[in-house]
């Protein structure tokens, strides 16, 4: 019994973990050169720099349960500084709870279990119960998964097409190889899933492409503490509408979670509007005036996601349910991930694991069976 997971973001790795635990043979195909998707943590000169998510709501159980299964439960850390400020154009003032998302004009999906707080978290909104992360950054969870899954993850192997066979599915992989699978979990962004599923005639598949992925640019800037003029309150600020500038929000990363910067240093993470020019220079210039910074940053790191956080349109949950209903009439194949079941990292873990369980169920494998040792990778037909 071979299952293929397409995409090695947090969702795909979680799905693969679920499948492996049930004793099936699993292959994970990832188009990029690294696993993890938008979860990226860079550790440089004592700084922990996040390229994607930096945490999750402490109340979200799925990612924490997975961390404990992987043996990294003791690496969970609580948010330290709480509360956020708003930049009025003249000064920083305390922000009323939950207003960060509103100020940023972030759409809150109403018809799925999406976690709007996740987005607010990015922009330092204070929420009851606070947030958590990992001691070494969010990359710890995807790194732990990748380490446990090992060579079944095949990077630089994007799936270009799928086709039904008598015993399941055949997947075409970049470079021309083909792979046979009894079950498939697609954990790719919706525009990729829409194309793959529409090509095999799944009704409603094209409408999955209604999900819009917003671009995201962040600039992380490191300073000596003495370059900061005075004390900073809260875990960051958001900019009020109509105040000009390109920095929409800023997280005081080294105050928000422990050990994000060496002693005596500060790490800021700015979220920028798409703009012409070097994002790090733009962010520094603006933060220098808001926070009273003196002198240039010691290091900077920019992450640019051309398609970052997915935003759902009304009726999204119904469209996803409709596609799943049609997929249930075909050989075992399911869809999972941020574009389908909620954007937060914990929602992605849940989505991946549940899709894997549905595929296992259709293959007649008991997902609750005790974990078995990892079998050898599946059969490659060609290439
Ligand atoms: C800047 C940013 C900040 C965020 N902050 C937070 C936060 O603080 N808290 C929070 O909870 N969430 C946050 N999120 C959201 C959360 O990180 C993501 O929703 C989640 O990590 C997405 O995981 P995924 O596996 O579903 O998708 P992805 O990470 O996008 O993974 C999909 C994978 O599929 C691969 N792929 C694509 N096409 C193919 C193909 N044809 N064949 C094979 N592989 C393919 C991609 O290369 C990718 O690796 C943030 C997101 C961004 C972008």
Q: 153-154 and 25-29 as β-strands: parallel, antiparallel, unpaired?
A: parallel
Q: Are 247 and 347 contained in the same domain? A: no
Q: For residue 11, what are the domain limits?
A: 2-37+141-211+312-382
Q: How far apart are CA 200 and CA 208, in angstroms?
A: 14
Q: Whose CA is nearest to atom 22 of ligand 1?
A: 338
Over 80: is that where the pLDDT of 25 sits?
yes
* Model pLDDT for residues 229-275, shown as the tens digit of each residue: 888 999 999 999 888 899 999 999 999 999 999 999 999 999 999 88
Q: Are 237 and 373 contained in the same domain? A: no
Over 80: is that where the pLDDT of 369 sits?
no
Q: Are 206 and 104 contained in the same domain? A: no
Q: How far apart are CA 238 and CA 84, in angstroms?
A: 8
Q: How confident is the model at residue 97 (pLDDT cuts 50, 70, 90)?
A: low
Q: Are 286 and 347 contained in the same domain? A: no
The answer, yes or no, to whether any atom of ligand 1 lies below 6 A from the CB of 38, is yes
Q: Are 231 and 133 contained in the same domain? A: yes
If one compares 175 and 146, the residue with the highest pLDDT of the two is 146
Q: Whose CA is nearest to atom 20 of ligand 1?
A: 345
Q: Are 238 and 345 contained in the same domain? A: no
The answer, yes or no, to whether any atom of ligand 1 lies below 6 A from the CB of 41, is no
In this prediction, residues 65-90 reach a mean pLDDT of: 95
Q: Are 365 and 271 contained in the same domain? A: no
Q: Are 158 and 56 contained in the same domain? A: no
Over 50: is that where the pLDDT of 374 sits?
no
Q: 310, 335, 361 — which closes off a domain?
A: 310
* Model pLDDT for residues 322-352, shown as the tens digit of each residue: 999 999 999 999 999 999 999 999 999 999 9
Under DSSP, is residue 229 helix (H, G, I), strand (E, B) or coil?
A: coil
**CA neighbor of 205 nearest in space, from 358, 324, 357:** 324
Q: Give the pLDDT of residue 112.
A: 33
**CA neighbor of 133 nearest in space, from 306, 222, 272, 251:** 251
In this prediction, residues 120-148 reach a mean pLDDT of: 81
Q: 279, 310, 341 — which closes off a domain?
A: 310
Q: How many CB atoms lie within 10 A of CB 292?
A: 12
Q: Give the pLDDT of residue 229.
A: 85
Mean pLDDT of all residues belonging to the chain: 90
Q: Are 118 and 178 contained in the same domain? A: no
Q: Are 201 and 266 contained in the same domain? A: no
Q: What is the CATH number of the domain that holds 306?
A: 3.90.660.20
Q: Give the pLDDT of residue 85.
A: 93
Q: For a pLDDT cut of 70, what percent of the chain falls above it?
A: 87
Q: Are 240 and 99 contained in the same domain? A: yes
CB 339 within 8 A of CB 211: yes
In this prediction, residues 48-76 reach a mean pLDDT of: 97
Q: 168-173 and 159-165 as β-strands: parallel, antiparallel, unpaired?
A: antiparallel
Choose one of 7, 112, 114, 195 to mutate for the ligand 1 pocket test, by most ligand atoms within 8 angstroms of C-beta: 7
Over 50: is that where the pLDDT of 119 sits?
no
Ligand 1 midpoint to CA 233 (Å): 31
The answer, yes or no, to whether any atom of ligand 1 lies below 6 A from the CB of 347, is no
CB 114 within 8 A of CB 347: yes
Q: For a pLDDT cut of 90, what percent of the chain falls above it?
A: 82
Q: Are 196 and 73 contained in the same domain? A: no
The answer, yes or no, to whether any atom of ligand 1 lies below 6 A from the CB of 117, is no
Q: How far apart are CA 297 and CA 227, in angstroms?
A: 9
Least confident range of 67-76, 203-212, 235-244, 294-303: 235-244
Q: From residue 136, give the alpha-carbon distance in Å to each of 60, 102, 122, 261.
A: 19, 30, 18, 11
If one compares 242 and 226, the residue with the highest pLDDT of the two is 226
Q: How far apart are CA 146 and CA 34, in angstroms?
A: 10
Q: 310, 329, 364 — which closes off a domain?
A: 310
Least confident range of 125-129, 143-147, 344-348: 125-129
Q: Give 40's contacts (C-beta < 8 A, 6+ positions apart).
A: 50, 51, 52, 139, 303
The answer, yes or no, to whether any atom of ligand 1 lies below 6 A from the CB of 352, is no
- Extract the tokens encoding 158: 């994007």
Report the predicted TM-score, pTM, of the whole model to 2 decimal places: 0.92
Q: Give the pLDDT of residue 96.
A: 78
CB 125 within 8 A of CB 97: yes
Q: What is the CATH number of the domain that holds 9?
A: 3.50.50.60
Domains in the chain, number: 2
Q: How far apart are CA 291 and CA 79, in angstroms?
A: 21
């Amino acid at each position: 019994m071979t299952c293929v997971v397409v995409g090695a973001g947090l969702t795909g790795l979680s799905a693969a973990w679920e499948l492996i635990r049930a004793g099936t043979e699993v292959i994970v195909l990832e188009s990029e050169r690294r696993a993890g998707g938008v979860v990226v943590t860079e550790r440089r000169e004592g700084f922990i720099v996040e390229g994607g998510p930096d945490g999750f709501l402490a109340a979200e159980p799925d990612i924490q349960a997975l961390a404990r299964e992987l043996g990294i439960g003791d690496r969970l850390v609580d948010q330290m500084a709480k509360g956020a400020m708003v930049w009025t154009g003249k000064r920083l003032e305390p922000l009323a709870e939950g207003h960060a998302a509103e100020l940023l004009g972030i759409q809150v999906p109403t018809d799925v279990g999406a976690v709007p707080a996740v987005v607010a978290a990015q922009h330092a909104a204070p929420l009851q119960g606070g947030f958590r992360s990992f001691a070494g950054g969010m990359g710890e969870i995807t790194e732990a998964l990748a380490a446990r899954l090992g060579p079944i993850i095949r990077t630089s192997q994007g799936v270009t097409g799928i086709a039904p066979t008598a015993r399941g599915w055949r997947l075409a992989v970049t470079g021309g190889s083909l792979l046979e699978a009894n079950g498939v979990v697609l954990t790719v962004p919706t525009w990729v899933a829409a194309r793959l599923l529409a090509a095999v005639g799944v009704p409603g598949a094209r409408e999955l492409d209604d999900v819009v992925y917003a671009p995201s640019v962040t600039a992380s800037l490191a300073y000596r503490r003495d370059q900061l003029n005075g004390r900073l309150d809260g875990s960051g600020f958001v900019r009020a509408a109509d105040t000009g500038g390109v920095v929409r929000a800023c997280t005081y990363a080294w105050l928000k979670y422990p050990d994000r910067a060496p002693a005596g240093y500060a790490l800021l993470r700015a979220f920028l509007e798409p703009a012409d020019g070097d994002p790090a220079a733009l962010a520094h210039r603006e933060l220098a005036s808001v926070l009273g910074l003196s002198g240039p940053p010691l290091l900077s790191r920019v992450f640019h996601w051309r398609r970052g956080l997915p935003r759902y349109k009304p009726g999204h949950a119904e469209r996803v349910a409709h596609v799943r209903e049609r997929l249930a009439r075909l050989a075992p194949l399911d869809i999972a991930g941020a574009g389908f079941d909620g954007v937060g990292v914990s929602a992605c873990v849940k989505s991946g694991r549940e899709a894997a369980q549905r595929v296992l169920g259709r293959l007649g494998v008991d997902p609750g069976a005790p974990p078995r040792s990892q079998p050898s990778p599946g059969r490659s037909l060609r290439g």
